A = this chain, B = another copy of it.
Amino acid sequence: MKLEEHPTTLPVPTIRRYPIYLREIREMIDSGAHFVSSAIIAKKLGLDAVLARKDLAMAGVCGRPRRGYPARDLEKAIIKALGWDNVTDAALVGVGALGSALLGYTGFEEQNLSISTAFDCNPAIAGLTIRNVKVHPMEDMQRLIKEHNIRIGILTVPKCAAQKCADMLVKSGVTGLWNFTNIQLAVPNGVVVQNVDLAQSLAVLSHTILSR
């Protein structure tokens, strides 16, 4: 009988809370804490303490009664669970306003994400260096993605180009797509798509304002 090779899949809600815990834990470490308790973290984040405790337990770190969890270990465990323990190289396609903003965003260091390569079909843009990242023509995609062993493709192209660019990225070998367009992408099995859809977020905001 073969053992499970892959790490266990955690519940999506838990995964979504991990980056928030992570920030909090890091902040506490920075202010000198060696142990952090679920109660304090939960309070700061407005969550139930039991929920936080369960989430943290899933990262595989044991806490100590009266003390809490060892801060560094917890930090490392969460980073590991998210796959943020090594630098992940990503390629961004579509260097428009949003694409440039993402290229210049320094916050991705927190996630060990490095947008090392960018592509644009506009010959006036390809060739430029935007925010320290060189923009390449689409023809070079397959070669560069293989060369740099890039796993994640970031889609910041106009709607109409989205599926075509997704296809190119997949063909070049990326296994994850971070989709900032509003298109429902079709991808082969084994490729993961994560959509960032501002309309969904705004919908919750507007509806909540409305029904208050």
Distance in angstroms from A169 CB to nearest chain B CB is 13
Chain B residues closer than 8 Å to A192, beta-carbon distance: 205, 208-209, 212
In angstroms, Cα B96 to Cα A100, docked, is 11
Contact status A207-B10, CB under 8 Å: yes
A178 interfacial by beta-carbon distance below 8 Å: yes
Contact status A107-B175, CB under 8 Å: no
Chain B residues closer than 8 Å to A200, beta-carbon distance: 16-17, 19-20
Distance in angstroms from A9 CB to nearest chain B CB is 4
In angstroms, Cα B205 to Cα A151, docked, is 11
- Number of A interface residues, CB 8 Å? 60
Taken together, the copies of this chain in the complex come to 2
Most buried by B among A10, A111, A175, A207: A207
A48 interfacial by beta-carbon distance below 8 Å: no
In angstroms, Cα B106 to Cα A12, docked, is 31
In angstroms, Cα B10 to Cα A45, docked, is 24
With A198-B196, A199-B111, A205-B194 known as contacts, the answer to whether A211 contacts B9 (CB < 8 A) is yes
In angstroms, Cα B16 to Cα A43, docked, is 27
User: Could you list 26 A-B pairs, sorted by A, with CB under 8 Å?
Assistant: A6-B211, A7-B211, A8-B211, A12-B204, A15-B207, A17-B200, A19-B203, A20-B199, A46-B184, A81-B207, A82-B207, A83-B206, A83-B207, A83-B210, A84-B206, A97-B104, A97-B105, A110-B199, A111-B203, A152-B205, A152-B206, A152-B209, A178-B201, A190-B212, A194-B201, A194-B205
**Extra A-B contacts (14), CB below 8 Å, given A83-B210, A97-B104, A110-B199:** A6-B211, A9-B208, A15-B203, A16-B203, A17-B200, A20-B199, A20-B200, A82-B210, A111-B202, A113-B202, A175-B212, A176-B208, A176-B209, A196-B198
